[in-house]
Amino acid sequence: MSARRLGRPEVLLPTAAAGLTVTAFALLPAYTDAGLSSFDVYNTFQIFARLGLLALALGLTMIAGEFDLSVVGTYALGGMLTVQAGQEHYAYGLLAAVAAGAAIGLVQGGLIAGLKLPSMPVTLATYIALLGLTSALSGGLTKTYSNAAVTLWVDRTVLTYFSPRSLITLGLFVLAAVVLSLTRWGRELRAIGGDRRASRVAGVRVDRLLVGTFVASGVLSALGGSLLSFSLGSANPDPGVQPLIVAAAAALLGGVSLTGGRGNPLGLLGGIMAVALLTEIVTVAALPAYVTQLFFAGLLGIIVVIDAPDLHSALVRQRTRLRAGTSRPSPAGAQPGSQT
Amino acid sequence: MNALSTPARLDAPASPRGRQRSRADVVINVIVVLAVLAAIVVGLSTHRFATVANAKAIITSASLVGIAALGLTLITIGGSAVSLAIAPTVAAVGMMFLSAQSLGLVPALAIALLCGVVITGVQGAVVGYAAANPVVLTIAASFAITGLAIGISGGASVAPTGSGYDHLNATPGGVALSVYVLIVLAVAVEWTLRRTGFGRSLYLIGANRPAARVAGLPVGRTTAVAWLGAGALFAVTAAFTAAFNTSANVNLGGTLTFDAIAAVLAGGTSIAGGRGSALRTLAGAVLIAGVSDILLLRGYSTGVQIMVKGLIVLFVVVIVHLRTKGSRA
């Protein structure tokens, strides 16, 4: 039973990814001349804090069978609003970012659930519009945040390895995990991602749940942007496509499937930690930065090929043909195959 | 297309549900007409918009995105959604094109085309034969292409090794060469889609992959060929972009990926596949360039231009979705 549970992709992938990278990280001194210090662990969590909420936001919509490309737009807007509205008090900035994130999620979720639009073109359009809005708000310039006390506070060392920023991010992952495993939302989220029509027939309030998921995604990405702005002491109107791509890689490593219906927040945590560790390993080992990209490319390539349905069915066909060839005399031989 | 929608319209008034549908259709059509009228009025009332020089500026700025968007149209119609690796492909091919200039313009172009076709064709083969998810695959490919390009170039900009590339910046008849190329390619792609067996199978595969497979169509090969064509078109964009910038680095593609997707979607091609055309994409690219131009002439910032581009795409996506739903019911 436990072996079978471990074999499921939503458990196997993040466990393997996190396990491999932790091992590679711990063995770093063995194959490079760089020693490891507690600062490296702290730094890993800082990288995690930078992209964690983005991966969580994207991952939640992917579990529901949607794909929210707009997360990076909301991330940029959240960061910019935090800086521009939060000059007097950080809470105003935070509030503005969260409200904007929720409003964006509400509009997108409403369109996608209400009109049954596919999420990819809608969120792509929103992504472009949000980047434009952020750029218009800032005049295309990077804005600095003058409240240095906040900047110092979010990144100060807590318990040797953490900062308030990484602890907040971790806390939100735990919160998402607890909410999704203790309430029926977790099951319903996977249900609407797996088979939307069946879950609607079974009584899941699909539309409401979809809107909720997009609101959660908007709020989480806006918060991620806020925390980044506090930490950098500035906001950049265009974060580029890199954060989106890294967040998608983290979500896929976290055992979420692009077809939906699979995954959980703890898996996502494993996925993004693997990404953060990998980035830190490359930094500590002083490898050129593009090595990380090649590594992610290889990893994603393997995931996507393993996941490919036609390849899978071709392999199954091949296997059943072989088995049918060897055990044609006894019809019972086909039985075990058809049961699994 | 017409033959498909006519029977639905004929039995539509038979039921009250159908009448409701057609009324919704009328409302949608009125909204579209009003939007087009508003755009025309705003355009004509904008100082210096309705001039020949400005028309040239619009079509020139639409041409580079347009050529790449034509390639993406092939991918989208075939049901493989979108490629998120357009900008890295264009950057890598552009670097290759400039560094091959010492061989002369034609060999450099051939090398660029070959690179684009190989890079994109490999992705297409995986998508076509294994039905791999195109979005994730192209994300992986964009990492791989950028990583390799940085690794090989050392992250530096590539300077041209010859001057043959300058022929691509020619302006015969006062219009940029890329505009002529865009129009010729749009007609060629449209003809391929409408008049060849390949084009028709591509629409069928995009509309319903399992059915196309059952019907015995070569699903894997057709998809792979569509991506090969897309790769060639990306390479053409790359050559023009690199020639225009006279140097190329890994950021050469810029926001091209999303600009191309926006042009395809603004033209009204459905991301689900099986619908759309090259001429629609051409219209989408010109529409976005035209609206950006109006905003620029009226003195709005780049940010506002980008925002309006996003809102146009959103508007068209919603309208196209409502219309197709209406004609299907």
Could you tell me the residue ranges of all domains in chain A? 2-287, 290-327
Residue from the list B87, B271, B301 with its beta carbon closest to the beta carbon of A120: B271
Q: How near does any CA of chain B get to the CA of A301, in Å? A: 6
What are phi and psi for residue A234, nearest 5 degrees? -160, 170
Which residues of A fall within a CB distance of 8 Å from B310?
125-132
Which residues of B fall within a CB distance of 8 Å from A282?
none
| Domain ranges across chain B | 46-298
Give the best residue of B65, B83, B143 to mutate against chain A (max A CB count within 10 A): B143
Residue from the list A118, A121, A128 with its beta carbon closest to the beta carbon of B306: A128
Q: How near does any CA of chain A get to the CA of B35, in Å? A: 18
pLDDT at B254: 80
B149 to chain A: closest CA residue: A290
Which pLDDT tens digits describe chain A residue by residue (340 residues)?
Answer: 455 566 677 778 888 888 888 888 888 777 777 677 788 888 889 889 988 999 999 999 999 988 888 999 999 999 999 998 888 888 898 999 999 999 999 999 999 998 888 888 899 899 989 999 999 998 878 888 888 888 888 888 888 888 889 999 999 999 999 998 888 888 888 888 888 888 888 888 889 999 999 999 999 999 999 999 998 888 888 887 778 878 888 888 888 887 788 888 888 999 999 888 888 888 887 788 788 888 878 887 887 887 777 777 777 777 777 766 555 444 444 444 333 3
- The residue-averaged pLDDT of B80-101 equals 91
Task: Give the pLDDT band of residue B10 (cuts 50, 70, 90).
Answer: very low
Nearest to residue A176, comparing CAs of A320, A325, A56?
A: A56
What is the number of alpha carbons within 13 Å of residue A230 lying toward its C-beta?
A: 30
CB spacing of B309 vs A129 below 8 angstroms: yes
Which residues of A fall within a CB distance of 8 Å from B155?
290
> Which of A55-64, A73-82, B37-46, B99-108 is least confident?
B37-46
Q: Cα A232 to the chain's mean position, in Å?
A: 21
Which residues of A fall within a CB distance of 8 Å from B317?
117, 121-122, 125
- Please give the share of chain B, as a percent, with pLDDT higher than 90: 40
The 10s digit of each residue's pLDDT in B231-244 is: 999 999 999 999 99
Residue from the list A135, A297, A303 with its beta carbon closest to the beta carbon of B147: A297
CB spacing of A136 vs B307 below 8 angstroms: yes
Integer Rg of chain A from CA: 22
Top-confidence residue, B133 or B70: B70
The DSSP code sequence of B264-316 is HHHTT--TTSS---HHHHHHHHHHHHHHHHHHHHTT--HHHHHHHHHHHHHHH
CB spacing of B141 vs A297 below 8 angstroms: yes
The DSSP code sequence of A262-283 is ---HHHHHHHHHHHHHHHHHHH
B158 touches B245 (CB < 8 A): no
pLDDT surpassing 60 at residue B76: yes
Which residues are CB-contacts of A282 (< 8 A; sequence separation ≥ 6)?
A289, A291, A292
Which residues of A fall within a CB distance of 8 Å from B265?
121, 124-125
- The residue-averaged pLDDT of B134-143 equals 86
Q: In the 8-state DSSP scheme, what is residue A235?
A: E
Distance (Å, rounded) from C-alpha B158 to C-alpha B245?
11
What tokens does B174 get?
A: 């006062």
Q: How near does any CA of chain A get to the CA of B24, in Å? A: 13
Q: How near does any CA of chain B get to the CA of A159, in Å? A: 35
Give the best residue of A112, A275, A302, A304 to mutate against chain B (max B CB count within 10 A): A304
What tokens does A246 get?
A: 């890294």
pTM: 0.84
What tokens does B269 get?
A: 């091609």
What tokens does B234 get?
A: 């990306």
Distance (Å, rounded) from C-alpha B270 to C-alpha B264?
9
A252 touches A8 (CB < 8 A): no
CB spacing of B303 vs A290 below 8 angstroms: no
Which residues of B fall within a CB distance of 8 Å from A252?
136
pLDDT surpassing 90 at residue B223: yes
CB spacing of B144 vs A305 below 8 angstroms: no
Q: Cα B131 to the chain's mean position, in Å?
A: 22
Residue from the list B81, B303, B307 with its beta carbon closest to the beta carbon of A140: B303
Fold observed for domain B46-298: ABC transporter involved in vitamin B12 uptake, BtuC (1.10.3470)
Q: Cα A182 to the chain's mean position, in Å?
A: 21
pLDDT at B204: 93
- Antiparallel, parallel or unpaired: β A234-235 and A143-144: antiparallel
In whole angstroms, how far apart are CA B291 and each of B34, B50, B175, B288, B313? 16, 13, 20, 5, 12
| CATH class label, A2-287 | mainly alpha
Which residues of B fall within a CB distance of 8 Å from A303?
136
Which residues of B fall within a CB distance of 8 Å from A249?
139, 143
Alpha helices by DSSP H, listed for A142-264, are: 148-154, 164-182, 185-194, 196-201, 206-232, 242-253
CB spacing of B306 vs A297 below 8 angstroms: no
Can you tell me the ipTM of this complex?
0.82
Which residues of B fall within a CB distance of 8 Å from A314?
130
The 10s digit of each residue's pLDDT in B174-207 is: 888 999 999 999 999 999 999 999 999 999 999 9
CB spacing of B126 vs A120 below 8 angstroms: no
Distance (Å, rounded) from C-alpha B66 to C-alpha B185?
10
